[in-house]
Homo-oligomer: A and B are copies of this chain.
Amino acid sequence: VRRRVAVLGAGSWGSAFAAVLADAGHDVVVWARREELAARITATHRNPDYLPDTDLGQAVTGTASWDDALDGAETVVLAVPAQSLRANLADRSPLPPVPVLSLLKGIENGTAARMSQVVAEAGRVAPERIAVLSGPNLAREIAARQPAASVVACPDPDLAARLTHLVQTPVFRPYASTDVVGVEIAGALKNVIALAAGIASGMGLGDNTKATIITRGLAEITRLGLALGAEAATFSGLAGVGDLVATCASTLSRNQRVGIALGRGLDLAAARAEVGQTAEGVTTAGPVLELARGVGQDMPITEAVDAVLRGGSTVQEATAALLSRPLRTEGPGSRVLRPGSTSEAPPPA
């Protein structure tokens, strides 16, 4: 069934997702802040600023009017920058009473709120009507119509299922979930772990170290998520390990590039100047540690990244500190092994 969908935000992910929706058979209106960009999207069905090589589809048009974008929309997709979400929702007309799907990844600075919490508060939307989408979805590859999968989570399982069918295309495969907290925590925290993976690459380390950081990073993200009410399976899934692996594999990601510069010994100011763009992980590490302290969770990799970002330790010191922690069992209920064990002889059979 053909639907009218409003995509609020014309960055690379919003534009690529507009193409997914057009491929799924819908009419898509993309709201762009700048009049000129909106007009170009309508005229060319392309976004010359972010995805110049991508044909978004004939069904995609642009508008710089928030109200026009929402007029007649049967679903609203949010794709504005995470830290500007609250201002966008507060300053403009209210969202219509239709399902709202958030593509945003981040933790709000100052409030440590998840994006769906900001939508509920600032947009006055009932949580049952808010869904979130996340997965290994690098915008350029989605725009190139490469096969990918994702998770659509909503407290209402029927709405999750409907939105899943709404966004399916021959190459985009969504899975339904009810774990909004898990999907949002995983999406926000992967940027911090991507910084850590970038630091390791910048230090000249290879695939073992990177895979270890991804795995132990996933373990600490999962612990925090469980403490906040998320489900463990989400972190083993597409929004968890999937997105983390794709982000850490992509050496073009901003978080990795800032990490690589830090790993080569630059300080944060120099690393930022070299990359020339904001890396979300840089502003996420602090709020995440606040969240973690609030629920009494230990996050050694996030703490190490935060210490390096604040100039409190060198990358070498941070690495040595991680490796010298007491040995433990792996998995839930992980406990420290008795240090005395080395002095005992392996037993005869």
The size bracket of the interface on A is: 35 or more
Q: Are B3 and A346 in contact (CB under 8 A)?
A: yes
Tell me whether A273 is interfacial, beta carbon within 8 Å: no
Known: A168-B327, A211-B246. A349 touches B129 (CB 8 A): yes
Tell me whether A338 is interfacial, beta carbon within 8 Å: yes
CB-defined contacts of A216 to chain B, threshold 8 Å: 149, 238
CB-defined contacts of A75 to chain B, threshold 8 Å: 346
Copies of this chain per assembly: 2
Kindly state the separation between the CA atoms of A227 and B341 in the bound complex, as whole angstroms.
33
Tell me whether A277 is interfacial, beta carbon within 8 Å: no
Kindly state the separation between the CA atoms of A75 and B242 in the bound complex, as whole angstroms.
38
Q: Contact check: which of B219, B237, B327, B347 meets A237 at CB < 8 Å?
A: B219
Give A293-349 interface residues, CB cut-off 8 Å to B: 319-320, 323-324, 327-332, 337-339, 341-349
Tell me whether A71 is interfacial, beta carbon within 8 Å: no
Shortest CB–CB separation between residue A4 and chain B, in angstroms? 11
Stretch at the interface among A36-44, A52-60, A133-141, A264-272: A133-141
Q: Are B245 and A215 in contact (CB under 8 A)?
A: yes
Kindly state the separation between the CA atoms of A134 and B176 in the bound complex, as whole angstroms.
33
Tell me whether A210 is interfacial, beta carbon within 8 Å: yes
What are the interface flags for A1-35 relative to B under an 8 Å C-beta threshold, 1 for contact and 0 otherwise? Answer: 10100000000000000000000000000000000
Known: A212-B136, A323-B170, A330-B176. A348 touches B98 (CB 8 A): yes
Stretch at the interface among A77-85, A112-120, A159-167, A280-288: A159-167
Q: Are B236 and A141 in contact (CB under 8 A)?
A: no
Tell me whether A151 is interfacial, beta carbon within 8 Å: yes
Q: Contact check: which of B148, B149, B166, B241 meets A218 at CB < 8 Å?
A: B241
Known: A99-B346, A161-B341, A327-B165. A208 touches B148 (CB 8 A): yes
CB-defined contacts of A90 to chain B, threshold 8 Å: none
Kindly state the separation between the CA atoms of A211 and B141 in the bound complex, as whole angstroms.
12
Tell me whether A91 is interfacial, beta carbon within 8 Å: no
Tell me whether A233 is interfacial, beta carbon within 8 Å: yes
Q: Are B138 and A349 in contact (CB under 8 A)?
A: no
Q: Contact check: which of B205, B235, B346 meets A236 at CB < 8 Å?
A: B235
Shortest CB–CB separation between residue A329 and chain B, in angstroms? 5
Kindly state the separation between the CA atoms of A347 and B216 in the bound complex, as whole angstroms.
41
Shortest CB–CB separation between residue A53 and chain B, in angstroms? 14
